[in-house]
A and B are shown apart, each in its own frame.
Chain A
Amino acid sequence: MTVQSLLSEKKEQIAKKWFELVADSYPSQTSDFLKSKKNQFLNPVGFTLKEGLSGICNELSLGMDESILKKCLDDIIRIRAIQDFSPSEAISFVFLLKKVIQEVLPELSEDAKEYVSVMVEKIALMSFDIYMQCREDLFEIRVREAEKRNFRLLQVANQLMELKDERVNDLVTGVIDNEKGKG
């Protein structure tokens, strides 16, 4: 049997175990909640993890389609990037996959293990990029929000600058400085 067909045969078991381990990276009450609540809207984190992880497991035995992997990883990492995790903690879940496969398929040949290793590395590398992208997005949306918040104010300021109304101009730029560079 090829490693792909072994992985395909056990993909549900791998995904389930993987999900449980990832859920355990949260405080214990939360881990129970993530595992037990079924409604996708009332437990969106649990649902997203489950969907994303099984999507990745599916790809292990198929062609490792980059766009599918990317979507699954993005869904998961977008959430972990804003939760109480350090960068390494946020993507540590990828490395758990190796552990899970070892447990579910202990009999894998050295070659097959090597294959799994390479795949996990590939997923890990993608995850670094996605994590960075999410963090960049986080800063970008903050700047964009500040701009939108003051859009009309800037318009008014420009008009008033023409009228040389220094006082209002000061007021307006004061508000903007306040919002952009608080602290």
Chain B
Amino acid sequence: MAKFTKKPKDLIADIDYSKTPSTDWMDTPVEFKEHTFCWGAKGKNLEIVGFPNARDWSPAEEDWKLPHDWENTVMDAIKDRLSKYRSFKLFMDICVRCGACADKCHFYIGSGDPKNMPVLRAELFRSIYRRYFTAPGRIFGRLAGARELTLQVLKEWWYYFYQCTECRRCSVFCPYGIDTAEITMMVREFTNLLGLNTDWISGPVANCYIKGNHLGLEPHTIKSSIEFFLDDIETITGIRIEPSFNRKGAEILFVTPSGDLFADPGTYTCMGYLMLFHELGLDYTWSTYASEGGNFGFFTSNEMAKRLNYKIYAEAKRLGVKFIIGGECGHMWRVIHQYMDTWNGPADFLEVPKSPITGTVFENAKTTKMIHITEFTADLIRNNKLKLDPSRNDNLIVTYHDSCNTSRGMGLLEEPRYIIKNVCNHFYEMPEDTIREKTFCCGSGTGLNAGENMELRMRGGLPRAMAVKYVKEKYGVNMLANVCAIDRATLSTLMDYYNPGVRVTGVHELVANALVMKGEKPRETNLRQEPLPGKEGA
């Protein structure tokens, strides 16, 4: 009857309310808890793109089916990247552990897990770098912050470097400009060399490689989807639009993330593009081959990202267009702005983008030859080329989420805001510390937008959700605008959890609602086929 021998006081003392691990971080082993990580890749998807160690695997299982000499593979890769990328070597050496970045990561803020502090996240790798690539680390080991590479360490890397969305918020606050996102990219490359990919990333990569888009849709499926939009647009405006596909000799190639074609609410943004281009009479074409603006290869390795990106220029060349416009996407723009030109450029068969409507030359895209649609549209509005009726959006109280990639990755801060303010009458910013360069991530970027890791996503999205909650309570905000396909999907989910009643939209959905088109019938509904303000009883 031992269980009845304790006094109530002792029983109370037994209850431990604290989560504090009693061990140092190096001695606190990683635990794989359900709903916090993505499922492992399927062998067939890795095989398709020739990734190493192709086999089915599961992160939750003890045996990761690693190649027998995996340690050597990792060491060789580290050596190689250190010699190739000066920034990587620098980031390893110059961190003074000042802690300025420590509380800047949305995953840390939302989870409270110290290993999500950017400085500690980097230490997970840096400790290995020290042990094998620096003299003090080799000699003094743990005293110098170094440790051996073991299977435990590899698992810890995998767990935490797939809890970083490469958002770069931490780098904004680092006095040395250390970019933990780049360290994450490197470590993900190393895991990639061992076949430790996630299903959510490797599936789209394989599909994109064979079919040109993440879902692996074939040309007729893409076309049918757009035809549904055209039917809806006709119902709403009375105008039948006839876009062209794979048309040689068009002036402009338009590429958007395939999420816009299938996932609500991105679909309405896509209808917005179609309506805008039709109204302008733009000489442009869709491509069913370069049918993906997104690039999940970017979340595996530099080489894979390059391979997937290649199709955009190849298609532009094949069709003989003059330049490229890209749809509303986040990481697509980081890739295009920062990498495309060096990977697959120079695209000297293209011309510097020049708006055929306003004559504006986009000098900023001089080398890439590709502009973001919000640059294009902001310029149209500035030059008075669009007839707009913002009162059609009067039922919406809008705020704007800067996607990490467009804001920190390419400095696209004003254009989306300028457009929104011209097509909506009610716009309110979220608090200053949570927008523009200091924006908080949606919590689901870099291929973390799967379903099985929902708990993790809700942790990562928490700071963003709390800022939205504030403007919701203060100004009655009911619409969260953004220019990213992943945001459109994942912020909807984030809002459903934290701020029900706040919906999510792309900027061009708002544009198309306000756009007064030539020959349109009196509009009764918005693109979602809900009554326009004032037409509720109709």
Return A10 CB to nearest CB of chain B, in Å.
21
Total number of residue pairs linking A and B with CB closer than 8 Å: 159
Cα distance A85–B112 when bound, in Å? Answer: 11
Return B489 CB to nearest CB of chain A, in Å.
6
Instruction: Say whether A42 contacts B114, CB under 8 Å.
Output: no
A114 on interface, CB distance cutoff 8 Å: no
A residues less than 8 Å from B496 (CB atoms): 137, 140-141, 144
Q: A145-B451, A168-B221, A183-B452 are contacts. A153–B19 as well, Cβ < 8 Å?
A: no
Instruction: Say whether A152 contacts B18, CB under 8 Å.
Output: no
Instruction: Say whether A84 contacts B489, CB under 8 Å.
Output: no
Q: A39-B433, A141-B454 are contacts. A84–B15 as well, Cβ < 8 Å?
A: no
B114 interface neighbour in A27, A175, A179, A182, Cβ under 8 Å: A27
The interface-forming segment of A58-66, A75-83, A105-113, A116-124 is: A75-83
B122 on interface, CB distance cutoff 8 Å: no
Instruction: Say whether B20 contacts A28, CB under 8 Å.
Output: yes
Q: Which of A28, A31, A43, A141 has the most CB of B within 10 A?
A: A141
Return A104 CB to nearest CB of chain B, in Å.
17
Cα distance A95–B17 when bound, in Å? Answer: 10
Instruction: Say whether B114 contacts A30, CB under 8 Å.
Output: yes
Instruction: Say whether A42 contacts B215, CB under 8 Å.
Output: no
B420 on interface, CB distance cutoff 8 Å: no
B residues less than 8 Å from A84 (CB atoms): 19, 33, 36, 111-113
A9 on interface, CB distance cutoff 8 Å: no
A178 on interface, CB distance cutoff 8 Å: yes
Instruction: Say whether A149 contacts B262, CB under 8 Å.
Output: yes
Instruction: Say whether A45 contacts B462, CB under 8 Å.
Output: yes
Cα distance A176–B214 when bound, in Å? Answer: 13
Return B337 CB to nearest CB of chain A, in Å.
27
Instruction: Say whether A156 contacts B221, CB under 8 Å.
Output: yes
Return A164 CB to nearest CB of chain B, in Å.
14
Instruction: Say whether B498 contacts A78, CB under 8 Å.
Output: yes
A residues less than 8 Å from B21 (CB atoms): 27
Cα distance A18–B86 when bound, in Å? Answer: 49
Instruction: Say whether B17 contacts A41, CB under 8 Å.
Output: no
Q: Which of A14-64 contact B (CB under 8 A)?
A: 21, 24-31, 33-34, 37, 39-45, 47-48
Range, interface on chain A: 35 or more
A68 on interface, CB distance cutoff 8 Å: no
Instruction: Say whether B109 contacts A159, CB under 8 Å.
Output: no
Could you give, for residues 151-175 of chain A, a 1 whenever the CB lies within 8 Å of some chain B CB and a 0 otherwise? 1110110011000000010011001
Q: Is the interface of A mostly helix, strand, loop or mixed?
A: helix
Could you give, for residues 89-117 of chain A, a 1 whenever the CB lies within 8 Å of some chain B CB and a 0 otherwise? 10011011000000000000000000000
Cα distance A152–B497 when bound, in Å? Answer: 23
B residues less than 8 Å from A95 (CB atoms): 15
B residues less than 8 Å from A31 (CB atoms): 20
B residues less than 8 Å from A144 (CB atoms): 493, 496
Return B261 CB to nearest CB of chain A, in Å.
7
B residues less than 8 Å from A85 (CB atoms): 19
Instruction: Say whether A146 contacts B431, CB under 8 Å.
Output: no
Chain A residue nearest in CB terms to B31: A84
Instruction: Say whether B113 contacts A152, CB under 8 Å.
Output: no
B residues less than 8 Å from A26 (CB atoms): 19-20, 112
B264 on interface, CB distance cutoff 8 Å: yes
Chain A residue nearest in CB terms to B457: A82
Q: Which of B384-434 contact A (CB under 8 A)?
A: 431, 433-434
Instruction: Say whether B228 contacts A152, CB under 8 Å.
Output: yes
Cα distance A175–B20 when bound, in Å? Answer: 42
B39 on interface, CB distance cutoff 8 Å: yes
Instruction: Say whether A79 contacts B462, CB under 8 Å.
Output: yes
Instruction: Say whether B459 contacts A41, CB under 8 Å.
Output: no
Q: A83-B111, A142-B454 are contacts. A151–B262 as well, Cβ < 8 Å?
A: yes
Instruction: Say whether B199 contacts A182, CB under 8 Å.
Output: yes
Cα distance A31–B19 when bound, in Å? Answer: 10
B358 on interface, CB distance cutoff 8 Å: no
B368 on interface, CB distance cutoff 8 Å: no
A29 interface neighbour in B39, B114, B262, B493, Cβ under 8 Å: B114
A residues less than 8 Å from B220 (CB atoms): 168
A residues less than 8 Å from B451 (CB atoms): 142, 145-146, 179, 182
Q: Which of A137, A141, A152 has the most CB of B within 10 A?
A: A152
Instruction: Say whether B228 contacts A156, CB under 8 Å.
Output: yes
B243 on interface, CB distance cutoff 8 Å: no
A150 on interface, CB distance cutoff 8 Å: yes
Q: A41-B470, A82-B455, A85-B19 are contacts. A155–B228 as well, Cβ < 8 Å?
A: yes
B152 on interface, CB distance cutoff 8 Å: no
A153 interface neighbour in B18, B102, B103, B262, Cβ under 8 Å: B262
Cα distance A156–B113 when bound, in Å? Answer: 43
Return A98 CB to nearest CB of chain B, in Å.
10
A residues less than 8 Å from B112 (CB atoms): 26-27, 30, 34, 45, 83-84
Cα distance A149–B102 when bound, in Å? Answer: 34
B residues less than 8 Å from A145 (CB atoms): 451, 489-490, 492-493
A138 on interface, CB distance cutoff 8 Å: yes
A residues less than 8 Å from B431 (CB atoms): 41
Return A65 CB to nearest CB of chain B, in Å.
18
Q: Which of A21, A26, A30 has the most CB of B within 10 A?
A: A30
Apart from A83-B110, A153-B225, what are 18 other A-B pairs with CB-CB below 8 Å? Answer: A26-B112, A31-B20, A33-B103, A43-B109, A44-B466, A47-B466, A83-B111, A138-B497, A142-B451, A144-B496, A145-B490, A146-B451, A149-B263, A151-B262, A151-B263, A152-B225, A152-B264, A153-B215
Binding site for A on B (CB under 8 A): 15, 17-21, 33, 35-36, 39, 102-103, 108-114, 117, 199, 203, 215-218, 220-221, 224-225, 228, 259, 261-265, 267, 431, 433-434, 450-452, 454-455, 458-459, 462-463, 466-467, 470, 489-490, 492-493, 496-498
11 A-B pairs, CB-CB below 8 angstroms? A26-B19, A26-B20, A30-B112, A40-B470, A42-B103, A44-B462, A47-B466, A83-B111, A137-B496, A149-B263, A160-B224
Report the 9 A-B pairs with minimum CB-CB distance, sorted nearest first.
A44-B466, A30-B112, A82-B458, A152-B262, A26-B112, A148-B264, A141-B496, A145-B493, A149-B263
